[in-house]
Chain A
Amino acid sequence: MNRFALVFRLPIIVWQGLFFLGPLFFMIAMSFFLVKNYRMEEAFELKNWARMLTRGYVWDSYWYTLGMAGSATVVATLVAFPAAFALAFRVSAAVRRWVIFLLIIPFFTSYLVRTFSWYVILAESGVINTGLGTVGFGPYTMLNTPFGTVVGYLTLTLPLVVILQTVALANIDRNLVQAARNLGCSPPRTLVSVIVPLAKTGLIIAALFCFILSFGDFVAPYYLGGSKPPTLPILIIDTTKSGQQWPRAAVVAVMMMLTLFAIAATAIWLAYRRRSAS
């Protein structure tokens, strides 16, 4: 290999090795370190793991986070699907491009500020309750509830889910859909037996992204969900910031990564699995 090729190949290996793989492997190692007198010491002990895995509050957080991220994924998938369907089949390609461009905008507006807006909109004396109050309803408690958390998760993920679902649906072969209709297949049946199976890979990948983003988000459960119980990301922040217990936070982070690996592997297997002969 000549020098020219090396100059282009090496930088990313060095950079990501030092600053991407380095941090991740160090974090795994750190989960076995000890903290003595507020100072972290290199060690290989299972104490942090033993402590975190036997605490009820950790598992409460774990299942709560899994449940909330899972609910957000189901809700986002169901809410996005009709919208993506409309974009894929009921508008022209030019309109679709424009709408997708619009859907990219939210990624570049501060997610914190959008969450803060929801806080104001959903509060007891907020926009929605004031509006409902004038016609004699409410007030409803929406903040500090699972509902608030899911609204926050959707704020983060819904644009992406709509985009990915639209791309998946727009790319399926129209002739197959038309053939099903010509052979007398009803529209609902066409949807279930032809369109959804054909777009399966994209739909599952969209759901997977929604899950990963929700699972790792601390803003929505903290500000809109009231943090009761705290989700795993909030647990990481609390353990790191207030307790100086970085090794314990690392245990939670590694638990999260293992969970995500398992879920991503399952999702990808489902997404690319061929249907058995039927």
Chain B
Amino acid sequence: MSARIATGLLLGWLLLVFVFIFAPIVASVIFSFNSDRFPTIPLGSFTTHGYDTIFADAEIGEAARNSIIVSLSTSVIATTLGFATAYTDYRYRFRFKGPYLALILLPPTIPLIIMALAMLAWLSWIGASGQLWSIIIAHSVLTAPFAMAILRLRLHQIDPDLEAAAWNLGSSEWRALRSVILPFCRPAIISAACLTAAISFDEFAVAWFVSGLNKTVPVIILEIVQGNIDPQVNAIGSLVFLTSMTLVVLAQLFFIARVGRT
């Protein structure tokens, strides 16, 4: 009996934790359709005014374009780097492999604000700051480890004899890679590309520092929030959420459906 009460209490606590985690997400979606300028309870009437204003806003349109360019380019570069490193780790043993892997895996352990300052200083020193591709460079460094992790997990599942068999049958290393390894990794590659794009699409600290005048959507959100309370933020936030979630669900579909099964 007391065990059952304990279980009930534990599950109740779990529910509370979930309420805490999801309250701000749900609230922002609700507020995005609210007519009052400052959202309170009771809510005003339902309106899509917040969405209409952001679709009409040229600056936000520009930022959306920047964000799309940055996250797509980032995902291509990060996934390529991630694949090359994951394949090297899978296939080769060599000295200094530990430091080699640390090179790609360490960036997420360093606070973004420190990366932001370091990137800004270094990129402006070599004359590469304030451009859209400055953000792309920075985001590739930050997201490559996630691509590497996903691809490495996938390569873990391949039978190493398959590639060796291809070599024995006379195929070159390149041919074996193209006909054996890449097809096997395709779901993970798509998954890694979606995930890195989603992370890049949301990142604001580093983008804010290195972007100069080329603002991305999260940087615009940051500026709006800094200014004053504006319900626009909820509408933009909901759209960003929708975009990121689509990417994550795609990543999950490819990752779980294929990688999980085989």
Question: Which residues of A are in contact with B by a Cβ distance under 8 Å?
Answer: 2, 4-5, 7-9, 11-13, 15-17, 19-24, 26-27, 30, 79-80, 82-83, 85-87, 90-91, 101-106, 108-121, 125-127, 130-131, 154-155, 158-159, 162, 187, 212-213, 215-218, 223, 233, 236-237, 240, 246, 249-250, 253, 256-257, 260, 264
Known: A12-B85, A240-B117. A26 touches B28 (CB 8 A): no
The distance from the CB of B133 to the nearest CB of chain A, in whole angstroms, is 11
The distance from the CB of A78 to the nearest CB of chain B, in whole angstroms, is 11
A/B interface sample: 14 pairs, CB < 8 A: A15-B144, A19-B137, A82-B9, A82-B10, A83-B14, A86-B14, A110-B241, A112-B218, A112-B233, A112-B237, A117-B23, A125-B40, A212-B111, A249-B117
A235 to B115, CA, bound (A): 15
Contact at A216–B121, with CB atoms within 8 Å?
no
Closest residue to B100 on the A side, CB-wise? A13
Is B109 located at the chain interface by the 8 A CB criterion? yes
Closest residue to A133 on the B side, CB-wise? B41
* Chain B interface residue count, Cβ-Cβ cutoff 8 angstroms: 78
Is B33 located at the chain interface by the 8 A CB criterion? no
Contact at A5–B118, with CB atoms within 8 Å?
no
Is B38 located at the chain interface by the 8 A CB criterion? yes
Contact at B173–A162, with CB atoms within 8 Å?
no
Which of A21, A80, A83, A240 lies in contact with B120, CB distance below 8 A? A240
The distance from the CB of A200 to the nearest CB of chain B, in whole angstroms, is 20
Is B182 located at the chain interface by the 8 A CB criterion? no
A89 to B6, CA, bound (A): 12
The distance from the CB of B96 to the nearest CB of chain A, in whole angstroms, is 10
Contact at B122–A23, with CB atoms within 8 Å?
yes
Closest residue to B260 on the A side, CB-wise? A97
Known: A8-B88, A9-B88, A120-B39. A236 touches B113 (CB 8 A): yes
Contact at A110–B237, with CB atoms within 8 Å?
yes
* Besides the known contacts A19-B137, A158-B20, 9 further A-B residue pairs in the complex with CB atoms under 8 A apart: A11-B84, A26-B118, A90-B7, A112-B218, A116-B28, A117-B234, A130-B41, A162-B17, A257-B114
Known: A12-B81, A19-B138. A237 touches B113 (CB 8 A): yes
Q: Is the interface of A mostly helix, strand, loop or mixed?
A: helix
Contact at A257–B120, with CB atoms within 8 Å?
no
Which residues in B have their C-beta under 8 angstroms from that of A101? 252
Known: A121-B24, A162-B17. A218 touches B110 (CB 8 A): no
Contact at A87–B111, with CB atoms within 8 Å?
no
Contact at A109–B237, with CB atoms within 8 Å?
yes
Contact at B117–A246, with CB atoms within 8 Å?
yes
Which residues in B have their C-beta under 8 angstroms from that of A90? 7, 10-11
Closest residue to A17 on the B side, CB-wise? B103
| A-contacting residues, B1-43, CB 8 Å | 6-7, 9-11, 13-14, 17-18, 20-25, 27-28, 31, 38-41
A253 to B112, CA, bound (A): 11
Which residues in B have their C-beta under 8 angstroms from that of A117? 23-25, 27-28, 31, 234
Closest residue to A26 on the B side, CB-wise? B122
Which residues in B have their C-beta under 8 angstroms from that of A159? 21
Which residues in A have their C-beta under 8 angstroms from that of B110? 24, 257
The distance from the CB of B167 to the nearest CB of chain A, in whole angstroms, is 11
Contact at A155–B24, with CB atoms within 8 Å?
yes
Known: A16-B103, A23-B115, A130-B41. A250 touches B138 (CB 8 A): no
The distance from the CB of A44 to the nearest CB of chain B, in whole angstroms, is 16
Contact at A86–B13, with CB atoms within 8 Å?
yes
Pick from B49-57, B68-76, B183-191, B198-206 the stretch touching chain A: B198-206
Contact at B103–A223, with CB atoms within 8 Å?
no
Which residues in A have their C-beta under 8 angstroms from that of B229? 119-120
Contact at B113–A116, with CB atoms within 8 Å?
no
